[in-house]
Amino acid sequence: MADILTPALGESVAEASIAKWTKKVGDAVKKDEVLVELETDKVSLEVVAPADGVLSAINAGEGDTVVPGTVLGAVTEGGAAAAPAPAAAAPAAAPAASGGAAVDIAVPTMGESVAEGSIGTWLKKSGDTVAKDELLVEIETDKVAVEVSAPAAGVLTITAADGATVTPGQVIGSVAASGAAAAAAPAPAAAPAPANTGSAQAPASAHLSPAVQRVVSENNLNPASLPASGPKGNITKADAIAAIGAAAPAAPKAAAPAAPRADQPREERVKMTRLRQTIARRLKESQNTAAQLTTFNEVDMTNVMALRAQYKEVFEKRHGVKLGFMSFFTKAVVQALHEIPAVNAEIDGTDIIYKNHYDIGIAVGTDKGLVVPVLRDADALSLAGIEKGIAALGKAARDGALTMDQMQGGTFTITNGGTYGSLMSTPILNTPQSGILGMHNIVQRPMAVNGEVKIRPMMYLALSYDHRIVDGKEAVTFLVRIKELLEDPARALLDL
């Protein structure tokens, strides 16, 4: 018998509450299947089965308070006990020859703080033949999109409809798998596809995620001609978006007939995505919680731009990544945080937590909204390491492939509105952080330099900070320090 134990909840979390059991006593369970969800005052945690077998005991009911190490229940080990449950469903899956058992399609774990998601559009319908590892549906959470693939080859049965709210471990369908069904899968799969959709692109688009399908259909792209850079050889959103530019010349001809607006509604109501709802909620919480204030300065980018222009080719050849401005700003931010630790701290109740690590959040705009992946231990990275890290995080964000670990635990955030042409803005804090730096567009402006008017590439900088923990003097000093390090990059090298 294997005990189900309450895991460690985090260094500052002493207890949790039982939110929900996904199984009841007597149910067959599989190793690592989610059995119970715990809620703390910070995050939600999932506890999985320690072994294959039968859930033989539940010691703590929903709503009970537990501490790390508490025995929540027990699993009686044994593979034989788990087998009969799926077998009962086999007769219903008549299309699967040779009496193959149905293999459940379960919602995967979506991160320790994600308790539920929404079913996107199923790429197949009940009764369709599917291949093993074929993409079936995308589940959208408030942070990331999770792809669910077929666990086996066979005939699909769907039990959770498009748009349904689901939780980790929940069964959303099944595949009636057998040796005969798997062998026959390739032949039937090709034939029904054209009949089901009247589109010539259906066979190619059947393997696209819903997000990619939207980009493809809205821009009249041919999936068969798109490059595939995904981890499983699949087409990602970034691949589809990159192809839009190549198809742009043909766009005006297709758009011309759509000029009349008579058939278009004056208004359209669209439900917010979970990610957009979360962005809205967190931004409002940030405004309501922190005493936010913004201070501004401007930086002459002449020396950084000259240094970048001088070494960008050899830098890219040596390190395999382009030399951008973000690495210079990240280095300057880390050094300024060393000197003004309050900007790298956060408030927890009546305590101030000073961080001795420098995990910098880099705001990235995606087609679904703004996300802030975290560059870990930025103080230990070279300029090349920073550029490689930011490039990898940006690609993962645009592909919808960010993990929960990559989006949590930042100590300070940098956002660059200049990529969209912003001249000046007041960024909102990414709580519980106490500071965020806003970069902006570089504009050639006349400046007084040693008594003479010179045209210089200037950028406005904005630091929003939590006035509860950061004083005005500290905030201004922090921003001036960044200005000094950028206007004279040798200071960072010499630690001046």
Enumerate the active-site residues.
Answer: 467, 471
| 98 vs 117: CA distance, rounded Å | 35
Closest alpha carbon to 403 in 90, 10, 108, 62: 108
| 308 vs 161: CA distance, rounded Å | 52
CB 157 within 8 A of CB 86: no
Burial 214-250 (b: 16+ CB within 10 A, else e): ebbeeeebebeebeeebeeebbbbbbbbebeeeeeee
Whole-number Cα distances in Å, 217 to 8, 213, 258, 397, 400: 46, 6, 16, 22, 19
Question: Structure tokens of 126?
Answer: 């009940």
Task: Give just the sign of the alpha carbon dihedral 459, 464, 470, 472.
Answer: positive
Cα radius of gyration (the chain): 27
Q: Where are the beta strands (DSSP E) in 6-94?
A: 16-21, 28-29, 34-39, 44-48, 53-58, 65-66, 71-77
| DSSP letter (8 states) at residue 420 | G
- Separate counts of helices (H) and strands (E) for the chain: 15, 27
Strands 369-371 and 364-366: antiparallel
Question: Structure tokens of 262?
Answer: 């008579």
CA dihedral 315→317→322→323, nearest 10 degrees, is 0
Q: Which residue has the tokens 């967190």?
A: 282
Burial 270-299 (b: 16+ CB within 10 A, else e): eeebbbeebbeeeeeebeeebebebbeebb
